[in-house]
Structure formats: C-alpha cells, structure tokens
C-alpha cells in the first residue's frame, strides 16, 4: 500500500502517484478527500464526470433489479435457518492486522487487493473487509462465544471489498453470503457444510454446477508438501513473476494461485497438495467423502485445488459453473482449524464457505430462473376534482392502515390518464372518487382483472377490499 499525506504532496502530484500505484496494483490511500483540481484531472484523463459516475467496480442496484436480490436473500435466510445457523452482522471495516494475520500476508488478497487507510488521527490502520471469516472469528472471540454450546453456527450477508481488475462477475465491491460452523473437527460437519452450499444453489434452481473437493492438509503434512513444491519450482524460479519469486521461500503454495499467465503455465504439473496428505488428514478426508457419498451430493475430486486464503486446513471446496465465463467459482470454502488460535484464542476448529451474490444472480439470469413478481399495488385511488383529491388523501391513508398497498395520482389529472397509471402499477382495484358520488357518500369500485365496475357506499367498498386482502393472504 502507498499512503500519501496531502500536506507532504501537491495535489497535482497526488494524481500522478495514484496512477502509478494503480498500474503497479498497489492500493493508494491519502489523508484528505481528492481536491477539486484533482477531480478535473481524473475527468480529463478518464473522460468521465466523477460527480455523476460511480467508482469503478461498484454497482448501483436499481429498483428494477432489487426484487431479484430479495428473492435470493429470502432463500438464503430460509435455508440458513433450516440448517440451524443464526445471523451475525459484522462491521464493514476492521483493524488491518486482523486480515494480515487471519488471511495471511503472502496472499493476493492481503498483498494486492485490500482497501486500507489510516483512520483520522493517523494512528490506526483500518481495512474494508475483503471477506467475512476473519471478522466472524474476531467477533467469536470478542463476545466470548467460546462458552456457547458447540458448534456455533453463524451466517452473514453483506458487502466485501477487493481491489481487483473489474470484469463480468468480478467487482471491487461485491456481496457475499457466508456461513461459519465453529467448534468441531468432525468430518460430518465438513460434509454438511458442502451440502448446505449445494442445497442453496439447488433451491435457487441453478443447474450445471460442479463441486470441486480436496483436502489441503494440516501444517504437518504441508511442511513436507512445501518442500516438494519448492523442488518442482526451483528450476523455473527465475521465470516466475516478482510476487511469486518473493513467495517462493515465504509461502510457495500461494504461487499456485497466481493469475499471471506465465506463472500459470510454469506451475502446470506441480505436485498436488491433495496427494501429499499425512495419515490423519487422509482418513479425515475419506470420512468427509463417505458422508457426502451417503448424502448424494455430487462432487469431483481435485487434488490440485488450493484456496487463495492461508487459513485453510484439510477440506477445501469450490462450486463452479460454466455459465460465468472466466469467473467460474460461485462459492468457495473449507475448514480452518487454526485461525482462531492464530488470532490469540483457544484451539477452535471451523468450517465454512461464502457464496458471491452477484455471481449467483448472473447465473440465475443466464439460466432464466427469475420470474418477475406481480406489481405490488393493491388499490389505486383516482380522484376527479379538488374536493375528491382531499378525500383521496384521507382514503389512501385509511387503505394503508388496513395493510393494503395503495397508490394515487398526486396531480389528479383526467380519469383516462389516472386509469393508465393504475394499469402501469398493476393495481388490482381502482376506487374512483367523483364529485357526484362523493356528495352521495359513494365511490366507484373497479376490478381491473375483470374490467367491471359498480358504485358502492364507501363502507361497502372498504368491506370488499378487506375480503380482497384476506383472499390474497390465503
Ligand atoms: P473466496 O473464495 O475468496 O472465499 O470468496 C467466496 C466467493 O465470493 C467466490 O466464490 C465468489 O463467488 C465471490 N467473490 C470473491 N471475490 C469476488 C469479486 N471480486 N467479485 C465478485 N465476487 C467475488 C472467501 O471469501 C472465504 N471467506 C470463504 C469462507 C468462509 N471460507 C470459510 N468460511
């Protein structure tokens, strides 16, 4: 990360430093907001208006899309409850050290992708969360959930932040649904967690999914594996990218998830971690597979699957689809038996996963799985004339008080245009308030599905609407 204090740097230079940092894949932070003249520099360079354009890699979820998110969130909340998970809501930023320690400082996420900044006051370094597991583990310790009956089952949903090169399915702000099952090493927990991830996808209707399953072993078997890997990589060390060369001694397994094409080619045929397990890890993995076989969850073994975060031990898995292009992984997770101890807590095993919500929604769109719900308007109140408009204000409040979604035309235009508005909103019933009817205490009640209408007393119309509401709720 590069941190620039504005006092030490002119604003013109700030922009140039930021451009260089971006090009080198470094996160750039500065102590004050970008001043006006830098704004115009960004605009000149990138040809966009920063006041009316969102930051790269972020999304606005417009009302016409939000219903899809709600549908997915409903299934996620319901399925989590079926499996005994309780929701936890965690801060969007944490102390930077939590991620350095938890995720590992030789990982891409920590080395290249974190949004890190100094808190005002300049003493504390904070980071927008790039994932949820470290925060959940921190909260588990901070709130002494260690004393809760085991396993402690937590789930969360929310924004995560990674400074990555944006493309379809890969963003700088994205959303995850994650679960963490804390306290037990039993292979049945691993199998159930994989099955939960798969069950969620199934409940959402997703097809053509592949579960890739592996064990990445424990610190004991990984020691021997790292040596094998170094022996394989040593002859090509000079050809690897600089980041990978730096990782060779510190953490050679991370070389296997380098995104650089040359490094990928050079690691082809590297020894697979899943083929270098110690006896205990191999038998744990076999048990996980026995449970999954019995549960009927389809998986493929992939001995070379390594996850990009350092906390994983033993079971690791990803769920992939061919419908996402380059970003094929919709879900990733695994066991992390030492994370909580590494954060200073007692030995507490854990197992979990996170699903990327943008990716889920992209697949569901590609597979035509969304059915748009009917419009949400129960009653539209059309008013003809000023006195009727006053009555409409009172009536519409009464209707909402009855629990009906009610809409009106605030400008009280002609009846034709009000009926068009009612149609556009998908109103089931239109109540027409005219001067003549009002003087008789009556109202026109129009059922939109049958294009039929009748004149009723206001009480009778409200009674009829109670029935409509009751029928809709059944
Ligand atoms: P992860 O594999 O880094 O794992 O992320 C999980 C999922 O988040 C990915 O499969 C993907 O769907 C989504 N995702 C990741 N990065 C992006 C991005 N830049 N844009 C859009 N979606 C993205 C974790 O985060 C672990 N904390 C999972 C876990 C929980 N392991 C144990 N417990």
- The mean pLDDT value for 47-64 works out to 93
For the residues of 272-332, what is the DSSP string, one character each? Answer: PGGGS--HHHHHHHHHHHHHHHHHT---EE-TT---SSTT-EEEEEEEEEGGGTT--EEEE
- The mean pLDDT value for 268-296 works out to 96
Please tell me if the CB atom of residue 359 comes closer than 6 angstroms to any atom of ligand 1: yes
Three-state DSSP class for residue 150: coil
Contact 179, 196 (CB under 8 A): yes
What does each C-alpha distance from 210 to 95, 240, 327 come to in angstroms?
36, 31, 14
Please write the tens of the pLDDT for every residue from 39-48: 556 566 667 8
For residue 443, the Cα-to-chain-centroid distance in whole angstroms is 48
pLDDT of residue 338: 97
Least confident of 15-24, 261-270, 330-339, 371-380: 15-24
Contacts of 386 (CB under 8 A, 6+ apart): 412
Contact 164, 170 (CB under 8 A): yes
> Bridge-partner residues for 154, per DSSP?
86, 180
pTM: 0.87
Please write the tens of the pLDDT for every residue from 342-356: 999 999 999 999 999
- The mean pLDDT value for 110-134 works out to 97
What does each C-alpha distance from 171 to 115, 149, 174, 265 come to in angstroms?
13, 37, 6, 26
C-alpha angle 297-286-184 in degrees, rounded to nearest 5? 85
Q: How far is the CA of 134 from the centre of ligand 1 (A)?
A: 13
Task: Name which of 350, 319, 316 is nearest 333 in CA terms.
Answer: 316
For helices 96-103 and 133-142, angle between their N-to-C axes, nearest 10 degrees: 110
The DSSP bridge pattern shows strands 152-161 and 173-182 to be antiparallel
Confidence of residue 25 (pLDDT cuts 50, 70, 90): low
Nearest residue (by CA) to ligand 1, atom 16, is 170
Q: How far is the CA of 156 from the centre of ligand 1 (A)?
A: 13
- Structural domains in the chain, sorted by start: 2-46 (no CATH), 63-218+278-366 (3.30.930.10), 379-473 (3.40.50.800)
Please tell me if the CB atom of residue 133 comes closer than 6 angstroms to any atom of ligand 1: yes
Higher pLDDT, 372 or 342: 342
């Amino acid at each position: 990360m590069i941190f620039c204090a504005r006092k030490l740097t002119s604003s013109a230079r700030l922009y140039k430093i930021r451009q260089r940092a971006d090009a080198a894949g470094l996160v750039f932070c500065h102590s004050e907001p970008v001043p006006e003249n830098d704004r115009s520099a960004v605009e000149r360079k990138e040809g966009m208006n920063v006041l009316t354009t969102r930051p790269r890699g972020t999304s606005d979820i417009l009302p016409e899309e939000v219903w899809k998110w709600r549908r997915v969130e409903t299934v996620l909340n319901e399925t989590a409850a079926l499996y005994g998970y309780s929701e936890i809501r965690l801060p969007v930023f944490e102390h930077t050290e939590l991620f350095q320690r938890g995720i590992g400082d030789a990982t891409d996420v920590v080395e290249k992708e974190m949004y890190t900044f100094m808190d005002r006051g300049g003493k504390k370094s904070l980071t927008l969360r790039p994932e949820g597991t470290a925060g959940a583990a921190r909260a588990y310790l901070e709130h002494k959930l260690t004393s809760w009956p085991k396993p402690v089952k937590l789930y969360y949903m929310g924004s995560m932040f990674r400074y990555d090169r944006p493309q379809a399915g890969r963003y700088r702000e994205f959303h995850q649904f994650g679960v963490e099952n804390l306290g037990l090493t039993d292979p049945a927990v691993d199998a159930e967690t994989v099955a939960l991830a798969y069950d969620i996808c199934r409940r959402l209707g997703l097809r053509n999914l592949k579960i890739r399953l592996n064990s990445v072993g424990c610190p004991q078997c990984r020691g021997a594996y790292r040596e094998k890997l170094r022996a394989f990589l040593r002859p090509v060390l000079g050809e690897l990218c600089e980041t990978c060369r730096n990782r060779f001694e510190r953490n050679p397994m991370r070389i296997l998830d380098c995104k650089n094409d040359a490094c990928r080619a050079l690691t082809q045929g590297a020894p697979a971690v899943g083929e270098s397990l110690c006896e205990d890890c191999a038998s744990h993995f076999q048990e996980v597979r026995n449970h999954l076989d019995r549960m009927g969850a389809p998986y493929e073994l992939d001995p070379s699957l390594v996850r990009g975060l350092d906390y994983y031990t033993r079971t690791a898995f990803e769920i992939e689809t061919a419908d996402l292009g380059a970003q094929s992984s919709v879900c990733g997770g695994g066991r992390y038996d030492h994370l909580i101890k590494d954060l200073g807590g007692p030995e507490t095993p854990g197992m979990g996963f996170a699903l990327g919500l943008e990716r889920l929604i992209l697949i569901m769109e590609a597979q035509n799985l969304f059915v748009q719900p009917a419009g949400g308007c129960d009653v539209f109140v059309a008013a003809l004339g000023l006195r009727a408009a006053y009555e409409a204000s009172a009536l519409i409040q009464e209707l909402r008080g009855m629990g009906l979604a009610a809409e009106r035309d605030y400008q009280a235009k002609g009846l034709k245009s009000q009926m068009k508005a009612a149609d556009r909103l998908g109103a089931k019933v239109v109540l027409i308030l005219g001067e003549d009817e009002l003087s008789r205490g009556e109202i026109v009640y129009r059922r939109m599905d049958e294009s039929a209408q009748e004149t009723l007393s206001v009480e009778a119309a409200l009674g009829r609407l109670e029935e409509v509401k009751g029928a809709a709720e059944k």
